[in-house]
């Protein structure tokens, strides 16, 4: 069974191995945080955020891993990526990493975090070439959503836009925001969603733009609470 390890230093060779895992398991690896940046992130934190990388290794190679973040002001996590090498799927490694994430988040929090966010592509909004590219690397967005559903994730019922990275530098609009609550829930406070996204976006958008985008998200929700829907 692969060994679980948390990576904490920028010179750990597991970071490059995790980066290679990202490239062979996602159809648009340039949309992910590159290995060259991850090392810096692990050694940097402030009062708002801590970055965490957990890997499962076999014979010195990362066969599964997850990069995620603890956001202190909302006491939740945000997952940037979770992947399992194709040859190691079906062994419960994704669930093992998911459980380990909550254990790590609780330890950092000093209590029990409220849940974990992640944004994922919606299969219905992918183009035919994008779907073909997914399939060419042994990946399928519908299967991925089923896996997230089995882990307890639900869709946050609001139009979600990743502010930059889309066509001509605009927003990415083919993604949904998911949330895995620690306790059973059918809705989530809008304020928790907007504050979380503002904190998550700030390091790469800047404080002013992150605030603006969180206000846009709040306006699209147009309610105090947002429904959590089955995937």
Residue 188: both structure tokens together: 């989530």
**CATH number of the domain enclosing 55:** 3.40.630.30
Number of alpha carbons in the 13 Å side-chain half-sphere of residue 80: 26
What sign does the CA torsion over 142, 65, 11, 6 have? positive
> pLDDT tens digits for 78-130?
999 999 999 999 999 999 999 999 999 999 999 999 999 999 999 888 888 88
Encoded tokens for 117: 């966010």
CA distance 204 to 115: 23
Closest CA to 86 of 16, 133, 140, 132: 140
- pTM for the full model? 0.93
Residue 162 to residue 9: CA distance in whole angstroms = 29
**pLDDT per residue as tens digits for the range 172-229:** 888 999 999 999 999 999 999 999 999 999 988 999 999 999 999 999 999 999 999 9
Percent over 90 (pLDDT), the chain: 74
Residue 125: domain span: 3-229
Please state the domain count of the chain: 1
Q: Which of 72, 10, 20, 17 is nearest to 41 (CA)?
A: 10
């Amino acid at each position: 069974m692969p060994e679980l390890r948390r990576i904490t230093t920028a010179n750990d060779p597991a970071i490059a191995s995790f980066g290679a895992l990202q490239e062979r398991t996602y159809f648009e690896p340039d949309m992910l945080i590159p290995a060259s940046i991850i090392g810096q992130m692990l050694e940097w934190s402030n009062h708002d955020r801590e970055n965490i990388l957990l890997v499962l290794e076999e014979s010195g190679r990362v066969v599964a891993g997850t990069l995620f973040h603890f956001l202190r002001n909302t006491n939740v996590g945000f997952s940037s990526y979770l992947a399992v090498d194709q040859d190691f799927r079906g062994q419960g490694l994704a669930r093992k990493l998911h459980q380990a994430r909550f254990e790590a988040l609780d330890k950092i929090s000093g209590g029990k975090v409220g849940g974990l966010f992640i944004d994922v592509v919606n299969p219905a909004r992918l183009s035919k070439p994008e779907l073909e590219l997914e399939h060419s690397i042994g990946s399928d967005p519908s299967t991925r959503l089923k896996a997230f559903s089995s882990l307890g994730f639900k869709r946050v019922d609001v139009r979600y836009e990743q502010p930059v990275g889309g066509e001509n530098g605009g927003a990415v609009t083919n993604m949904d925001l998911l949330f895995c609550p620690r306790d059973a829930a059918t809705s989530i406070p809008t304020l928790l969603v907007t504050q979380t996204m503002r904190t998550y976006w700030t390091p790469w958008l800047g404080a002013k733009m992150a605030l603006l985008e969180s206000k846009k998200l709040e306006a699209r929700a147009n309610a105090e609470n947002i429904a959590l829907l089955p995937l």
